[in-house]
Amino acid sequence: MPEKITIEKGSVQETLIIPLYGRKLCAEVFPKLYTDPSAAKICSRLDYDFSSLDKQANSTFWRFGALEAAMRQLDMQWEINDYLASHPAAAVINMGCGLDQTGRACDNGTCRIYNVDMPDIIEAREQLSPAGERELNVASNLNDFVWMDQVDGSAGAVFFAAGVFHYFTEGQARALVNELAERFGGCRIVFDTVGKLGKRLMRTTFKNFGMENYDECLAVDDPTVLRSWCPKAAVSWRGYMLGYYPMDDPAVTGLHRFLARLCDGAVKMRINRFDVA
């Protein structure tokens, strides 16, 4: 058996646990909707006390939180697969990857996969899920654009970020999008946003991450403003709970569907797509 990896309480690596556990839980509770064998496999490799998460796992709202994380990953996979259909040898770049395996889930046998995150996160990823064939883990701050030098986008590139842009200022987000557009003509950029209400609901999460610039972080109430970000790109968006899939699983309750409509509506949870000329 492989040696278990210890995750210390209060460490940066611990911030990876909740989304990882959420994907594992969702695959268990909503198997007709979402599968993610990698999440359970990675959890089994961790020396970490999951008891507090296990106690909450039967909660309707905790399960809905897991459903949120899963729907976002499915949406990202839809966008990646759609791009790969016309660019089969493209680069697939997971910006702020954590322990997520979306790139591998979309692997068509010819694309190249890049996982970008901070050095301590990449170190944990290398221990738990070393880079495979046609895959590269890149240790870098996303706002230090030097990481882009390692991406071969000669056959196309689809960049995606799940749950990452919430922690950027609007200026940082715009700068990143425009730098990608300048360097990678014909690329696709996909990321999720929430509105101002969503940002307020995330206040505790921001505080737990020690975010001192909470008030400056990105929130998008009106998605049409994104069209002004990058003149080279055609911009579109969808709700991320119900915008791609009907959540067709008998385990999805009426309350879950109500909350999903609320998230796509009042909370303004969206998947945004920039198709660069």
Residue 135: give the domain boundaries: 5-276
Residue in 155, 219, 192 with CA at minimum distance from that of residue 274: 192
Query: What is the mean predicted confidence (pLDDT) over 115-121?
Result: 94
More confident residue, 137 or 57: 137
pLDDT of residue 221: 97
Query: What is the mean predicted confidence (pLDDT) over 100-125?
Result: 95
pLDDT higher than 80, residue 91 = yes
More confident residue, 45 or 79: 79
Q: Which two tokens stand for residue 218?
A: 């990105």
pLDDT higher than 70, residue 151 = yes
pLDDT higher than 80, residue 12 = no
Residue 256 pLDDT level (bands cut at 50, 70, 90) = very high
pLDDT higher than 80, residue 209 = no
pLDDT higher than 70, residue 60 = yes
Assess contact for 237 and 270: CB atoms under 8 A. yes
pLDDT higher than 90, residue 16 = no
Residue 2 pLDDT level (bands cut at 50, 70, 90) = low
CATH of the domain at 221: 3.40.50.150
pLDDT of residue 3: 76
Query: What is the mean predicted confidence (pLDDT) over 253-263?
Result: 95
Assess contact for 200 and 192: CB atoms under 8 A. no
Q: Which two tokens stand for residue 171?
A: 């200026």
More confident residue, 12 or 178: 178
Query: What is the mean predicted confidence (pLDDT) over 257-276?
Result: 96
DSSP assignment of 39-54, as one string?
HHHHHHTEE---HHHH
Alpha-carbon distance of 20 to 143, in angstroms, equals 24
What radius of gyration, in Å, describes the C-alpha atoms of the chain?
18
> How many domains are contained in the chain?
1
From its phi and psi, is residue 98 left (phi > 0), alpha (psi between -120 and 50) or beta? Answer: left
Share of the chain above pLDDT 90, in %: 68
pLDDT of residue 154: 98
pLDDT of residue 210: 59
DSSP assignment of 96-145, as one string?
T-TT--HHHHT--SS-EEEEEE-HHHHHHHHHHS---TTEEEEE--TTSG
According to DSSP, the residues that pair with 192 across neighbouring strands are 271
Question: How much is the mean pLDDT over the chain?
Answer: 91
Q: Is 215 exposed, middle or buried (0-12, 13-18, 19+ CB in 10 A)?
A: exposed
pLDDT higher than 90, residue 159 = yes
pLDDT higher than 80, residue 270 = yes
Q: What digits encode the pLDDT tens for the residues 215-244?
A: 788 999 999 999 999 999 999 999 999 999
Alpha carbon dihedral 64, 69, 74, 79, in 10-degree steps, equals 130
More confident residue, 225 or 53: 225
pLDDT higher than 70, residue 155 = yes
